[in-house]
Structure 1
Amino acid sequence: MEKLEELDAMGCKNLGGEILIDGLSSLRILRLGWTSISGFSNGFDKLSRLDKLEELDVSECKNLEGEIPINGLSSLKILRLSGSSISGFLDGFDKLSFLEELQL
């Protein structure tokens, strides 16, 4: 799965628990909106290792809580968080200036 570039599970309401993202270094698009996921295996800090990630959509993920680590996500262009329980950003809101689209 090292070469996987897109993971789209939008609307898979039965998808819950923690998502394992280890080994997904080529991931550019991660869409998990409208699922029941509660986090990422070994915490949100794993997201910062996805340096090719361009789009992250966790809209309406009511069980997903915590702060997103922006540092390391320098390729991120689209971030959709509306309706999630994300409480903020580890590295500060000012680090989001590179985004083309932000939905809170």
Structure 2
Amino acid sequence: NFHSISLIIMMESPRDIKLTSSCLFRGSEYLVTMEVKDGDQLNIEVEDRISSDQWKASFDATYIQDLTHKTGNFKQFHIFTSMLESALNKVCIYIISL
């Protein structure tokens, strides 16, 4: 069973975050995990709830800042990750498996 609750775990550094949420994309449910480590490393994991297929990627602060600069809408790393966290808060439901 899954219960909907907010879940934000602060890690060692004040800017370290780990959160997992259940999101619906194109009618399929996925577990999305966002983790910020050492204040400058973003790890994203997406898992299909039915097939258990997983996609993982890691991005350092320099890569994210360069990418946002190329789009013409530069964001500092901590601003980008804060925006990503906020977006997940708005469109997804945080869950813990009990």
TM-score, structure 2 normalization: 0.22
Q: Which has the higher helix share?
A: 2
Question: Highest CA radius of gyration, 1 or 2?
Answer: 2
Q: Which has the higher contact order (CA 8 A, sep 6+)?
A: 2
- Name whichever structure is richer in strand by fraction: 2
